[in-house]
Structure 1
Amino acid sequence: MTQNLATDGAPRAAVDDGRNRFATLTFQRDVAAPASVLWKAWTDPAARAVWAAPSSAVTVEFLEADTKVGGREISLCKGEDHPDIRCECGWLELQPELLSVNYEVISSEGVTQSAALVTAEISGTQERSRLVLTVQLSSLAEDMVAGYREGFGAGLDNLAGAAERTMVLQRVIRAPRSVVWGAWMNPETLPQWWGPEGFSCRTQRIDLRAGGEWVFDMIAPDGTVFPNHHLYNEVRPDERLGYTLLWGENGPKHADAWASFEEQDGATKVTLGMVFTTAAEFQEAKGFGAVELGQQTLGKLERFIASR
């Protein structure tokens, strides 16, 4: 990821005249979130996009993101005073909630700056977790050790904060993945089941594609209206979708969200994740029962599919 760069987004040489071409760096973060949530924050493209930039002076544009063994992630790190930095990450091993291994290659203007092997080990409980990251670095065009220390340090601080405001819901639905995906990504069927028990949806506009949107009201059993606006930024058929939640049409951002669909012995494991914009919003959502309400929504999806 781009967090191996200095916090201004530029490669940075160490103070030892560039003679230290090889290094092994270790980072550790303790996080107030379950290991299962930290794993999703570390590996899921939608969550990674939230914390990838090491500082506010840097923006990260994701060109490709496919978190699976053999998949890769390509991003551009952009700052005002330097050329774009290209980061290619390739996933070599993924053991959910335990271990990931990936290679990382950094280049700028067609020149490879560094290559690294990154190993992440996750452990913990239902309350807290720990990430231990080992980076085996080879600096090529210049010494990158200082930049890796600074950039990864800032990025992992961001990761810890994002994980602590991330909510993850999962449900196994006994239907083929194509059927579950079809019920979710059909503009006629999505409004029929979306929302907790007793809620209904009133759609104004719906366009379920990358770059599309869904503007709608959720109506509670007592008639209370909750305006919603979903902006879709990623759609990978039968696999995953990513979107932004706004409070009403073009309103303030509420969360960055994603849904993924995995085949599991003829059934489909659905994961719905949300990285709330602030810790306060996460705590408020958790307090009013967002986990239980979200599970009700997935339960309605399961019943809808079973009834067809």
Structure 2
Amino acid sequence: MGGRFAMLTFERQFAAPVETLWEAWTAPAARALWAPPSPTVTVEFLEADTRVGGREISLCKVDGHPDTRCEAGWLELQPALCSVNYEVISSEGITQSASLVTANFSSQGEGSRMVVTVQLSSLSEDMEYGYRQGYGAGLDNLDAVSERTMLLSRVIKAPRDVVWGAWLNPESLPKWWGPDGFSCKTKRIDLRAGGEWVFDMIGPDGTVYPNHHLYGDVKTGDRIGYTLLWGENGPKHADAWVAFEEEDGATKITLGMVFATAAEFQEAKGFGAVELGQQTLGKLARFIGAS
């Protein structure tokens, strides 16, 4: 079968600020949430490295059908401006398509705008319809995810390995985690991929807040992905990630959280989660003597 070429363009307006949209588009923990185009589809990420030269491999699973493999590679990443990646789709060892995906971002009032261009080459079958459906649904999901995403960032004047060491250390993490005046009482802690942290956060007035963190993605020195539960094995509160970036001898921390529902996001904003989160990052800076 001869190859077919198509140029596809998707334009969307988003309520979320452009910085939040960028994180939701690029952070593996967020991508895993909006990538499945429908509830009948699950997407399993086998590899995810969001940096120029990094690769992402995922399997798209539908009951009764062979898995579809997607390999993507990041060619350009200009935060909150532009990303470029290639994408190769295959099934049962047969390459179905190859494409070049360019996403351009811009601010639009308090929200943002995104234009995605896909240069698609269909190889074993005509993939244009599938791409239109898949990207259309994916961008709808991205809109919903970005609207319940909270971002916190702080530059800590310490090397990245020092900051990472204070975070991914079972002895030190409980000593600084939580807002000012809060303390942690650990039941179990294992900070490896597939590990967990079960603990109570205790407020200044003695109120106990049970927590359970499940660690899915731990990329040493670079990124942590985890899920927050309301108490041990409780309902999901949020999917979260932390990125550690070197910045002129200091370390920029970006903490992202995608709340389980838009209502939980609004509730968290209402009780001051942004300010409380910044207090937590401030405690980390003081803990390592870099406030």
User: What does residue range 19-38 of structure 1 map to in structure 2 within 5 Å?
Assistant: 21-38=4-21
Q: Deviations over 1:247-305 (max 9, x none)?
A: 00000000000001000000000010000110000000011000000000000000000
RMSD: 1.3
Does residue 117 of structure 2 align to residue 117 of structure 1? no
User: What does residue range 256-271 of structure 1 map to in structure 2 within 5 Å?
Assistant: 256-271=239-254
Name the counterpart of 2:27. 44
Letter in 2 for 1:147: G
Using the TM superposition, name which of 218-227 and 125-134 deviates more. 125-134
Q: Deviations over 1:60-97 (max 9, x none)?
A: 00000000000010000000121000000000000000
1:104–1:116: 8 Å Cα contact kept in structure 2? Answer: yes
Name the counterpart of 1:281. 264
1:126, distance to aligned residue in structure 2 (A): 6.9
Change (3 A) 1:265 1:307: closer
For 1:167 and 1:66, how far apart are their aligned partners in 2?
A: 21
Does residue 45 of structure 2 align to residue 58 of structure 1? no
Name the counterpart of 2:166. 183
Q: 2:186 aligns with which of 203, 215, 218?
A: 203
2:17–2:110: 8 Å Cα contact kept in structure 1? Answer: yes
1:262–1:269: 8 Å Cα contact kept in structure 2? Answer: yes
Letter in 2 for 1:212: G
1:35–1:126: 8 Å Cα contact kept in structure 2? Answer: no
Q: 1:217 aligns with which of 192, 200, 203?
A: 200
For 1:167 and 1:125, how far apart are their aligned partners in 2?
A: 19
Change (3 A) 1:266 1:125: farther
For 2:284 and 2:109, how far apart are their aligned partners in 1?
A: 27
Q: 1:85 aligns with which of 65, 68, 73?
A: 68
Q: Deviations over 1:122-157 (max 9, x none)?
A: 111572011110001000000001000011100110
For 2:261 and 2:14, how far apart are their aligned partners in 1?
A: 16
Letter in 2 for 1:96: P
Does residue 130 of structure 2 align to residue 147 of structure 1? yes
5+ long unaligned stretches in structure 1: 1-17
For 2:202 and 2:233, how far apart are their aligned partners in 1?
A: 19
Equivalent position SS for 1:82: coil
Does residue 173 of structure 2 align to residue 193 of structure 1? no
Equivalent position SS for 1:54: coil
2:8–2:118: 8 Å Cα contact kept in structure 1? Answer: yes
Name the counterpart of 2:84. 101
For 2:142 and 2:163, how far apart are their aligned partners in 1?
A: 30
Name the counterpart of 1:272. 255
For 2:290 and 2:72, how far apart are their aligned partners in 1?
A: 42
Change (3 A) 1:276 1:183: same
Q: Percent identity?
A: 76
Q: 2:215 aligns with which of 232, 241, 251?
A: 232
Name the counterpart of 1:72. 55
5+ long unaligned stretches in structure 2: none
Q: TM-score, normalised by structure 2?
A: 0.98
1:29, distance to aligned residue in structure 2 (A): 1.4
Q: Deviations over 1:194-228 (max 9, x none)?
A: 00010000110000000100000111101111000
Q: Deviations over 1:92-120 (max 9, x none)?
A: 00000000000000000000000000000
Equivalent position SS for 2:287: helix
Equivalent position SS for 1:153: helix
Instruction: Count matched residues.
Output: 291
For 2:11 and 2:262, how far apart are their aligned partners in 1?
A: 22
Q: TM-score, normalised by structure 1?
A: 0.93
For 1:70 and 1:79, how far apart are their aligned partners in 2?
A: 29
For 2:228 and 2:108, how far apart are their aligned partners in 1?
A: 29
For 1:291 and 1:126, how far apart are their aligned partners in 2?
A: 21
For 2:290 and 2:246, how far apart are their aligned partners in 1?
A: 21
2:148–2:258: 8 Å Cα contact kept in structure 1? Answer: yes
For 1:208 and 1:148, how far apart are their aligned partners in 2?
A: 38
2:3–2:124: 8 Å Cα contact kept in structure 1? Answer: no
Q: 1:131 aligns with which of 106, 109, 114?
A: 114
Using the TM superposition, name which of 119-128 and 23-32 deviates more. 119-128
